[in-house]
Structure 1
């Protein structure tokens, strides 16, 4: 992949790549395409609400969809923008007038699919049935979100009440996983980690009676099935979910995760091969062999030190989603002994983690520290220049965009080959810091677990991609 093919050079206002290469998307989740989005406070229109600020911070980059070849020339030239589906309704916010906004995405295509489904209800996406009620197409929960032999689903809230399901698991608080949860939720208990539980309650106002907090590494018996939440090494509160059925079979659902060696020492994972592994396959392609997070963190810290040495009046900016990338700005803060400025909305989220090491480093005054955290969508030359104009004590901006989508095969693990983009007083580094497993990490994890069956949960909407992944699985199990 050469520099011209980076899908991460331009991100939309929610942190998604604005130009998506084919097969880079997750077919299992839907987003809306919205033009001219404007968010206003639901109360008096003065300033931005907590919900609005949370929305602007974006979501996890794993929920990407393919470009629609049927888009008009005008749309193609302006680029496709993916945003968090139904978040306006979820938060009760108003948006700028846009009668065309809100087209759902099914099978990687947009509004035209809804009309096609109404005309032909036999159309369906792989793994997902389409039921009809009158003239409205309704999607049924896909098989890879249901845990076979149990009354449970994982990250399937957007499908509403699911027949036969008496327990809904939430792996972590990213919108492509919690989408569909609203304050009116009443379909059954929501099982998740304590951090995720606090976020579900405070951010979505779901009634506490439906929120069931499960501690990590603690075995619970739920409807006769033993369940254990395991650290997923993804974002705060993210968990892999280990199910031990009555007949002795064990299933592991990874949610979104980044595989690492320490997982192999966990007694549950080392004691029995899982019958079924529901696997996060975001980067299940041999071209994704990005470096370890530790190496990327070290590189980022060294660049930040060098930047401040050359120009002491440098403002360091780290782009982040609403949840995730905390280790990047925490590493810079610790190495340089400086505080971290975040706005009130993000500060509220970070403090909900109960992560003292991070909380004690947070600042509410952007003028007193040179380290600021901004939504990843802010990392453009124009927006950073405007932001810098508000802090006259700084002479330049050194910004980091930490996401696996910045990875280049040409650079690989040679981080020193990364070339920043500069314009005027603004310099932006794209660093391949991912919170999903690389191809080699997936391979090692699967070879360690030796599951009887693997069900991919990402990039499943394309037959060629599914076949390619299955071939990878077969090769891994043979070697």
Structure 2
């Protein structure tokens, strides 16, 4: 290399050194703003600091005589935020806040009109001024944990805005006892899911009560007799001193809402299972409850008795049949309240047998599925079909049963690793706090296994109150002895919740299949949807429907069509319901003698109420032998 040449450096290329690069310079800490409340109650501001004339700038302090105010002094640590000392802005409107912005250090201003305040003078003034320093950050808007909309349906369904209290009459308000949301305009399955979620999810202890007054008891909740009035499934309403006997049909949140340990409006009449659940869940004293036996007449008052029948809804659910009599024990009237029930011929026969086929004067009917398109299979037929499908899936697998050519990720693993799983499938069955367990029992019995339920959990303790309703030793706490799990319906709600459940048990089960039992997912065809039919058409349709046995069976193709080969976990929505279908209601109203039908669900919709009354008239005419309908 020649002597007149030298090696080039970074300076020659005008490249800055590393310590001056923007990314390597230390970040200057920017102090958070400090908010100071100035409270001056007994101070003469004139003695603290002389005020210059108005031409010299705004006043630093304003006396109480001049203006009623609340001051906040915002001290900004970074002097580069403003070019000079802060100015006092006094609003012309009364009751406005006066905000003073001042830099951390008072610098000399370039503005000639701005007075120069010496640091020592300010310090002296500060000592004489009784200033209370208190850090008050800006209040962030409160974000409620509950959304304003509730999605109780599958993904892609329409979101329903919850109504406000003002949109519903005071006698029709149905409030959630936990969060206070109006549930009146929600469908019955949405109420059940919402209330079940509110009860089981822990709420913060700091939540404040809304202070909203309890609505008045609606007429549909009251059962009137000659000298007596009782209430059925109405606990979240304003108390009535004239009523002290309350009947609870079953332990579902949309019916018991309002009950708590301090509830003391009267005595609660219910089944023993429901009483045990109330005692466990809400610590209701046993002396406040009356456990009613099944199929036994109990005297409520001197002239009023009740007999309870199994409602075929959930464990401990009752249908109440009241009999009012005179002093000579002659029947004055029969009143039937179904609560929530799944009607069948056995229930109808037991009621008719007890009344000697006498006409029931008033029937308070569960009209959850009072809609002609809802025809789901009979319970026992559906349980057989679903359990057979499960056994076939377990024996054949996805590829053979559904013709799925996509290989499972487990097929690429070694044979020894695949054989390490105890079971090929784990079957999850969604349930409410109480109810829907029959599907899990049917599947477990068909597969020759037990139902797994973690010991000492809330679900297990609740199940213990009604386990006598199911086969003995059907429950196990050993996960290795079962491939059927009883889970909450919320577990089936999303991919994330499914993955969270499967991850800890992935070494035991190779795959997971879920069953979501709900009648709201099933509509059998479209020819039954026409609600605007005439009376003659309604009558013809009812007679054809009662003779149609196809709607009583489950078409297994509805399960096969739900298979999704791209999904990690298969979720099958099963048309299993513990409410009466439209056909069940038609059969009940045709075979049971009655004088007046009173719907208890969907009563907020005037159109639905009108349609229900028309269907009742048609069914009454069929019962009476096909007499001509009025208005035809």
> Which of the five TM-score ranges fits, normalised by the shorter chain?
0.7 to 0.9
More deviation, 419-428/246-255: 419-428
Tell whether the 8 Å contact from 1:351 to 1:359 is kept in structure 2 after alignment. Answer: no
Structure 2 matches for 1:291-440, cutoff 5 A?
Answer: 291-311=377-397, 313-343=424-454, 344-355=457-468, 357-379=470-492, 380-391=494-505, 392-410=507-525, 413-418=553-558, 419-422=561-564, 423-440=566-583
Partner SS for 2:188: coil
Q: Which residue of 1 aligns with 2:176?
A: 31
Measured at CA, do residues 18 and 236 of structure 1 come closer, stay the same or move farther in structure 2, by a change above 3 Å? farther
Tell whether the 8 Å contact from 1:285 to 1:439 is kept in structure 2 after alignment. Answer: yes
Per-residue deviation, 1:82: 6.7
CA distances 1:180-201 after superposition (whole Å, capped 9, x unpaired) = 1101122211101111111111
CA distances 1:369-394 after superposition (whole Å, capped 9, x unpaired) = 11111101111333212211111221
Tell whether the 8 Å contact from 2:451 to 2:485 is kept in structure 1 after alignment. Answer: yes
TM-score normalised over the length of structure 2: 0.57
Q: Which residue of 1 aligns with 2:259?
A: 181
Return the structure number with greater relative CO, CA threshold 8 A, min gap 6: 1
**Correspondence 1:171 to 2:249:** yes
- Taking the aligned partners of 2:187 and 2:251, their CA distance within structure 1 comes to 13
**Correspondence 1:199 to 2:277:** yes
- Taking the aligned partners of 1:86 and 1:424, their CA distance within structure 2 comes to 26
Partner SS for 1:383: helix
Give the total of aligned pairs. Answer: 393
**Correspondence 1:451 to 2:529:** no
Q: Which residue of 1 aligns with 2:112?
A: none
Unaligned runs of 5+ in 1: 1-5, 12-16, 36-59, 66-80, 104-134
- Taking the aligned partners of 2:583 and 2:439, their CA distance within structure 1 comes to 22
Please point out which of 71, 77, 94 is paired with 2:203.
Answer: 94
Tell whether the 8 Å contact from 2:372 to 2:582 is kept in structure 1 after alignment. Answer: yes
Structure 2 matches for 1:110-259, cutoff 5 A?
Answer: 137-149=213-225, 150-224=228-302, 225-247=304-326, 248-259=332-343
Per-residue deviation, 1:365: 2.9
- Taking the aligned partners of 1:7 and 1:354, their CA distance within structure 2 comes to 29
- Taking the aligned partners of 2:620 and 2:341, their CA distance within structure 1 comes to 20
Measured at CA, do residues 406 and 467 of structure 1 come closer, stay the same or move farther in structure 2, by a change above 3 Å? same
Tell whether the 8 Å contact from 1:376 to 1:401 is kept in structure 2 after alignment. Answer: yes
- Taking the aligned partners of 1:355 and 1:21, their CA distance within structure 2 comes to 41
Per-residue deviation, 1:211: 0.8
Tell whether the 8 Å contact from 1:304 to 1:398 is kept in structure 2 after alignment. Answer: no
Q: Which residue of 2 aligns with 1:462?
A: 605
- Taking the aligned partners of 1:143 and 1:454, their CA distance within structure 2 comes to 14
Structure 2 matches for 1:265-304, cutoff 5 A?
Answer: 265-266=349-350, 267-304=353-390
Partner SS for 1:476: helix
Per-residue deviation, 1:30: 3.1
CA distances 1:226-271 after superposition (whole Å, capped 9, x unpaired) = 1111111110000000111124200000000000010122122553
Please point out which of 602, 606, 619 is paired with 1:476.
Answer: 619
- Taking the aligned partners of 2:213 and 2:162, their CA distance within structure 1 comes to 26
Partner SS for 2:340: coil
Tell whether the 8 Å contact from 1:229 to 1:239 is kept in structure 2 after alignment. Answer: yes
Tell whether the 8 Å contact from 1:85 to 1:179 is kept in structure 2 after alignment. Answer: no
User: Which structure has the larger Rg over C-alpha atoms?
Assistant: 2
Per-residue deviation, 1:293: 0.9
CA distances 1:255-291 after superposition (whole Å, capped 9, x unpaired) = 0000001012212255321100000000001111111
Per-residue deviation, 1:92: 11
Per-residue deviation, 1:209: 0.8
Q: Which residue of 2 aligns with 1:118?
A: none
- Taking the aligned partners of 1:233 and 1:367, their CA distance within structure 2 comes to 32
- Taking the aligned partners of 1:237 and 1:250, their CA distance within structure 2 comes to 23
Q: RMSD in angstroms over aligned alpha carbons?
A: 3.2
Tell whether the 8 Å contact from 2:311 to 2:319 is kept in structure 1 after alignment. Answer: yes
- Taking the aligned partners of 2:241 and 2:221, their CA distance within structure 1 comes to 13
Unaligned runs of 5+ in 2: 1-150, 181-185, 327-331, 398-422, 527-550, 623-632
Per-residue deviation, 1:28: 6.7
- Taking the aligned partners of 1:226 and 1:151, their CA distance within structure 2 comes to 13
Per-residue deviation, 1:97: 8.3
Per-residue deviation, 1:34: 6.8
- Taking the aligned partners of 1:220 and 1:251, their CA distance within structure 2 comes to 15
- Taking the aligned partners of 1:297 and 1:19, their CA distance within structure 2 comes to 31
Per-residue deviation, 1:357: 3.9
Per-residue deviation, 1:21: 11
Structure 2 matches for 1:12-27, cutoff 5 A?
Answer: 19=159
Tell whether the 8 Å contact from 2:178 to 2:198 is kept in structure 1 after alignment. Answer: no
